[in-house]
């Protein structure tokens, strides 16, 4: 495949930053992450589910688990050491991209403890700890876009901490996220901070919306409902782009931009297709617009590279039609607001469950590593 026909390069040329939604120590140590960067990946996102999966596979963490066991590390301390080491190393792999893009890309994200998502002060403290522990300029600290998370997002940005706002499902919440972002930069400017290094993305989740609404449409059993299957997620995301445009064209934002601020790019998350009836690249192909990020699980990334249909901007000018689609769904008695609210609750529950799995996996690893040493005493 030549560079001119590689869909990943076509996305880059269309202004879409391609990020990988996965990380593991094996991927870093083997050179796999570097290879993906060479193929066009310019960022990495992680979450508790990804770390739990990485720890459960292979032996890449065994040496560190032994060292932590010998040192008598508690489980939560061990999780902190393991995850921050992986993300720090990934930041170093992506650092040349960060430097080459003037700090726009080359970013690696790590999430605060998801159990803190309803506690503003604890979320902020967790973000501060991760920022200081990893100590890399190309780090993003992920903070969930809960009502309680919004003030923590503002406070973190005000301190100069770059933030990836995650678990955004609704347009209403996205507006609040953008407001929290602008508030944070205004506070940073008032404190005399240089705004240029303070970066942010807003992770707007896509495929989970269809996964939740499609069964509700199916249950209605009408032709109208059937015709609307698979339309909600892309329409919702395209409307989010319209919300973003309203903010970046505002006088309030222009004043910050004049002071050196960078916009909070929309990041399309949850872009793996969950319904096999849909094309496996649909949540990439249908959300192409300059100034966005698309973070993909490796399976989706490989599908896009192999047969992605990148045909230029598929978002600009679609807002009116997208609003009509969601209105038609609402007219059938399906509340999109109720669905997106429930998706936030479920998203947090999934991350909390993955965090518990991660703690259990590390605890078992520490016990195994300590076993021989204890037996030899």
Q: Catalytic residues, which ones?
A: 142
What's the residue count for the chain? Answer: 377
Stated as kind and residue range, the H or E segment containing 88 is helix 75-100
**DSSP notation for 289-338:** -TTEEEEE-HHHHHHHHHH----S-SSTT-HHHHHHHHHHHHHTT--HHH
Q: What angle do CA 202, 210, 144 make, to 5 degrees?
A: 30
With beta carbons less than 8 A apart as the criterion, state whether 212 and 343 touch.
yes
Judged by phi (left if over 0) then psi (alpha if -120 to 50, else beta), residue 161 lies in beta
Tokens matching residue 82: 């393991």
Q: Go through 262-295 and write b for each residue having 16 or more CB atoms within 10 A of its CB, e for each that does not.
A: bbbbbbbbbbbbeeeebbbbbbbbbbbbeebbbb
């Amino acid at each position: 495949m030549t560079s001119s026909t590689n869909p990943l390069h076509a996305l880059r040329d269309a202004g879409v930053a391609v990020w990988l939604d996965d990380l593991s120590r094996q991927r870093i140590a083997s050179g796999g992450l570097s290879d993906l960067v060479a193929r066009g990946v310019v960022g990495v996102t992680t979450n508790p589910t990804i770390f739990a999966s990485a720890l459960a596979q292979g032996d890449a963490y065994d040496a560190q688990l032994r060292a932590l066991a010998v040192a008598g590390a508690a489980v939560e301390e061990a999780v902190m050491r393991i995850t921050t080491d992986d993300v720090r190393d990934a930041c170093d792999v992506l650092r040349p991209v960060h430097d080459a893009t003037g700090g726009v890309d080359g970013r690696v994200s790590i999430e605060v403890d998801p159990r803190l998502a309803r506690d503003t002060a604890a979320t902020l403290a967790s973000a501060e700890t991760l920022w200081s522990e990893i100590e890399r300029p190309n780090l993003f600290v992920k903070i969930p876009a809960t009502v309680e998370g919004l003030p923590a997002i503002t406070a973190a940005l005000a301190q100069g901490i770059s933030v990836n706002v995650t678990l955004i499902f609704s347009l209403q919440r996205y507006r609040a996220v953008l407001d929290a972002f602008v508030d944070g930069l205004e506070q940073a400017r008032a404190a005399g901070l240089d705004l240029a290094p303070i970066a942010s993305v807003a992770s707007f989740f896509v495929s989970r919306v269809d996964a939740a609404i499609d069964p509700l449409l199916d249950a209605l059993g009408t032709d109208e409902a059937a015709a609307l299957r698979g339309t909600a997620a892309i329409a919702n995301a395209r409307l989010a782009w319209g919300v973003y445009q309203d903010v970046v064209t505002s006088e309030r934002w222009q004043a910050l931009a004049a002071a050196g601020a960078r916009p909070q790019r929309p990041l399309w998350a949850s872009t793996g297709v969950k319904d096999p009836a849909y094309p496996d690249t649909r949540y990439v192909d249908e959300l192409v617009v300059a100034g966005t990020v698309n973070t993909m699980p490796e399976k989706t990334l490989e599908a896009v590279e192999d047969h992605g249909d990148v045909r230029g901007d598929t978002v600009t000018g679609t807002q009116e039609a997208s609003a009509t689609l969601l209105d038609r769904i609402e007219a059938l008695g399906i509340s999109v607001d109720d669905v997106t609210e429930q998706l936030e609750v479920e998203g947090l529950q999934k991350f909390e469950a993955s965090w518990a799995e991660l703690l259990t996996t590390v605890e078992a690893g520490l016990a195994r590593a300590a076993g021989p040493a204890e037996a030899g005493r």
